[in-house]
Amino acid sequence: MIAQVHMSELDAVKRRLVNAFESGAVTDVAELLVAFPEHRDELLDFWVILQASDREHDVHAEDALAREPLTEAEEATIRDICLSSSLGPEWLQASPDEGERDLAEVGFEMQRIRSAPYRYGGTANENFQRAAVYAWLAHGWGASTDHTASRMAVQKLAYLLECGLGFGLYDKHAKHPLGPYDPTATYRDAEPIAVKNDYLVRVGKHELGLGPKAEKALSLAERYLRDAAVAQAFVRSLRELGLDRWALETLATVHAVVSELPVGDISAEAVRDALANDEKWSTKLSRPNFTRTKIEEALHRLALLRLVDPGHR
């Protein structure tokens, strides 16, 4: 019975692709890949056949399946073109690794979620919600494995996750020497409340660990994150790329800079020029995490996450 349901589901999605192909409509296949990850390979292969039909023959889409099979090189080329049209030119780079594929899929989900209207209807105090999410972020970034999480990393994760999901709890960030920063989270509500309630413990000057009542905060935070599963995938994807707090600072700062650039003027050079002309951030250009290469890496990852225009290059 389960197999029949999945086959019917796959056939229905294929039919959508065929109908779009025949009508000339533009289909964002990436959205389908995110919605039906268990059928990813079958859907990509089917779409490659359709695109090959469009490129080589003026015939009905159904006839594409009866044609001579494409060579492996042709399939790879067409697949790259198809993915690039939906995911942006980043996917034309050689062999995107699994970590980047995960990041791109998280990006599609976050874009879908934040594009929908949202207003949390709960009654919990906003400061308390911020504290619970802060503990959740510390847990997700490293404290869950009996290690601590950098206070700076938690700050940058809060900023980036807010930009990605738009859940309305961390929208008070301002320019700071170490990138977008919310001092109220550090000194007035999120961190102090989390420590007071034993959700977090401070470890030295720069680290946060889980407190004895952390599990309560983690359970509550899932109510406030808008979509806890996507939020978790976001944090996990960044962590599995091996980013440290300095890479997160670069990611958050580059995003903040890009948000103030003119539309269509998104490049590493434009970011460097903006930093050079910013009184608070100009000194970043002398640091190793703000070289041109590091800025380009940040732009690439932000594009995969759909936090900047994926066609910026």
> In which band, very low, low, confident or very high, does the pLDDT at 60 lie, cut at 50, 70 and 90?
very low
Q: Comparing 4-8, 179-183, 228-232, which segment has the lowest mean pLDDT?
A: 4-8
- Domain presence at residue 105: no
CA 156 from centroid of its chain's CA atoms: 14
| Residue 55 pLDDT | 42
CA 86 to chain centroid, in Å, comes to 15
**Orientation of helix 228-240 relative to helix 126-141, angle to 10°:** 40
pLDDT tens, 212-221? 999 999 999 9
pLDDT at 39: 73
145 and 237 fall within a common domain:
yes
Residues 144 and 288 in one domain: yes
Angle at 218 between CA 212 and CA 220, to 5 degrees: 115
pLDDT > 50? residue 61: no
Q: Could you tell me the residue range of the domain that residue 77 belongs to? A: 2-87
**Same-domain pairing of 65 and 162:** no
The answer to whether residues 189 and 299 belong to one domain is: yes
60-66 mean pLDDT: 46
pLDDT of residue 59: 42
Return the percentage of the chain with pLDDT > 70, whole number.
Answer: 73
The per-residue b/e assignment along 52-82, b for 16 or more CB within 10 angstroms, e otherwise, is bbeeeeeeebeebeeeeebeeeebeebbbeb
Q: What is the pLDDT of residue 287?
A: 96
3-state secondary structure of 201: strand
Q: Is residue 93 part of a domain?
A: no
pLDDT value for 176: 94
The pLDDT of residue 63 is above 90 = no
- Per the CB < 8 A criterion, the answer to whether 106 and 234 are in contact is yes
CA neighbor of 128 nearest in space, from 223, 42, 7:
223
- Which tokens go with 240? 């599995």
Q: Is residue 99 part of a domain?
A: no
Domain stop point among 69, 87, 105: 87
Beta bridge partners of 201: 209
What six digits make up the tokens of 310?
């994926």
Paired tokens of 14: 């294929």
Cα gap 263→271, rounded to integer Å = 13
Are 76 and 164 found together in one domain? no
Name the pLDDT band for 23 (thresholds 50, 70, 90): confident
For residues 262 and 146, membership in a common domain is answered with yes
Same domain? 171 vs 290? yes
21 vs 89: which has the higher pLDDT:
21
In a domain, 107, yes or no: no
Number of domains in the chain: 2
Mean of pLDDT over the chain: 82
Final residue of a structural domain among 30, 59, 87: 87
Q: Is residue 155 part of a domain?
A: yes
Q: Are residues 16 and 162 in the same domain?
A: no
Contact 221, 136 (CB under 8 A): yes
More confident residue, 201 or 15: 201
Per-residue model confidence (pLDDT) at position 210: 95
Span 148-178, pLDDT tens digits: 999 999 999 999 999 999 999 999 999 999 9
Same domain? 77 vs 132:
no
Of 11-25, 99-113, 190-204, 248-262, the range with the lowest mean pLDDT is 11-25
Specify whether 273 is located in the same domain as 222: yes
10/157 same-domain check = no
For residue 232, being part of any structural domain is answered with: yes
pLDDT (0 to 100) of residue 193: 98
Task: Tell me which H or E stretch contains 16.
Answer: helix 2-23
What's the confidence (pLDDT) of residue 310?
A: 58
* Nearest one of 106, 111, 117, 134 to 232, comparing CA atoms: 106
Are 44 and 150 in a shared domain? no
Of residues 18 and 260, the one with the higher pLDDT is 260
First CA to last CA across the chain, in angstroms? 47
CA within 13 Å, CB half, 200: 34
What one-letter code names the amino acid at 96? P
Which of 87, 115, 145 terminates a domain? The answer is: 87
pTM: 0.72
Furthest C-alpha separation in the chain: 69
Q: Which of 98, 59, 97, 92 is nearest to 77 (CA)?
A: 92
Residue with the two structure tokens 């899929």: 105
